């Protein structure tokens, strides 16, 4: 077990040092397999299944690291307003990651930003549809995180679907009323645009 933990630490260290490149990960996995197989030649019941399980864990760890690296690249692209590159990086994160709803919502936020920047009506609608799809997928994975519902609310608001925006904002606020006053702001904005001024002011003052 000590040997296994040491090798797994080496995998993480090498992957970080070389920027998470595939050669580093592959070389590390090869080293892990070689060390696990280096034993005196004797029959050990279940040894093959143990080895297969350890290899699977290592592959999953490498995949998750690749996904996390992609998500970090996406943040850098967003800092430079490179939305297509950010979208592609988040696509990689969601492809290699294991059901991370935050990355789905982040990808939806990028799609919403692209919609707001687009002057082509069909393209804008396509981005909005993408954003809504990512929001709902994130909601399905984590029903209790308000940020997914906030994204849905903003997508509906961008389409002037004011009641749907209000309903989603209420769900976001119900899930995290104390830490995110911006949820209240989104709800008030949707209510204000519906002419529900007293309700909007009450939300802001609460």
Q: Tokens in use for 65?
A: 């690291």
Distance CA 137, CA 141 (A): 7
Q: Which residue has the tokens 């080496």?
A: 10
| Whether residue 42 has pLDDT greater than 90 | no
Write the pLDDT tens digit of every residue in 97-151: 888 999 999 999 999 999 999 999 999 999 999 999 999 999 999 999 999 999 9
The whole-number pLDDT of residue 51 equals 63
Between residues 198 and 178, which one has the greater pLDDT? 198
For the chain, the average pLDDT equals: 82
Report yes or no: 115 and 127 within 8 Å, Cβ to Cβ: yes
Between residues 48 and 180, which one has the greater pLDDT? 180
Q: Tokens in use for 123?
A: 């393209």
The whole-number pLDDT of residue 83 equals 96
| Whether residue 12 has pLDDT greater than 60 | no
Mean pLDDT in residue range 2-12: 50
> Of all residues in the chain, what percent are helix, strand and coil, respectively (each to 5)?
80, 0, 20
3 state DSSP class of 59? helix
| Whether residue 67 has pLDDT greater than 60 | yes
Distance CA 112, CA 28 (A): 39
How many residues can be counted in the chain? 206
| Whether residue 21 has pLDDT greater than 50 | no
| Whether residue 19 has pLDDT greater than 50 | no
The whole-number pLDDT of residue 108 equals 97
The whole-number pLDDT of residue 196 equals 94
């Amino acid at each position: 077990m000590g040997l296994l933990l040491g090798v797994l630490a080496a995998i993480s260290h090498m992957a970080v040092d070389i920027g998470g490149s595939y050669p580093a990960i592959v070389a590390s996995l090869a080293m892990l397999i070689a060390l696990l197989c280096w034993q005196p030649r004797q029959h050990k019941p279940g040894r093959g299944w143990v080895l297969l399980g350890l290899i699977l864990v290592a592959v999953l760890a490498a995949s998750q690291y690749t996904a996390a690296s992609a998500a970090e690249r996406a943040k850098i692209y967003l800092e430079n307003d490179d939305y297509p590159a950010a979208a592609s990086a988040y696509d990689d994160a969601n492809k290699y990651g294991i059901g991370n709803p935050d990355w789905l919502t982040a990808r939806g936020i990028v799609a919403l930003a692209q919609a707001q920047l687009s002057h082509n009506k069909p393209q804008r609608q396509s981005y909005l549809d993408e954003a809504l799809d990512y929001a709902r997928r994130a909601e399905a994975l984590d029903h209790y995180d308000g940020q997914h519902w906030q994204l849905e609310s903003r997508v509906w608001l961008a389409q002037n679907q004011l009641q749907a925006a209000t309903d989603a904002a209420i769900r976001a606020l119900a899930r995290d009323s104390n830490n995110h006053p911006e949820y209240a702001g989104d709800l008030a904005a949707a209510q204000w645009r519906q002419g529900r001024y007293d309700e909007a002011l009450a939300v802001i003052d609460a």
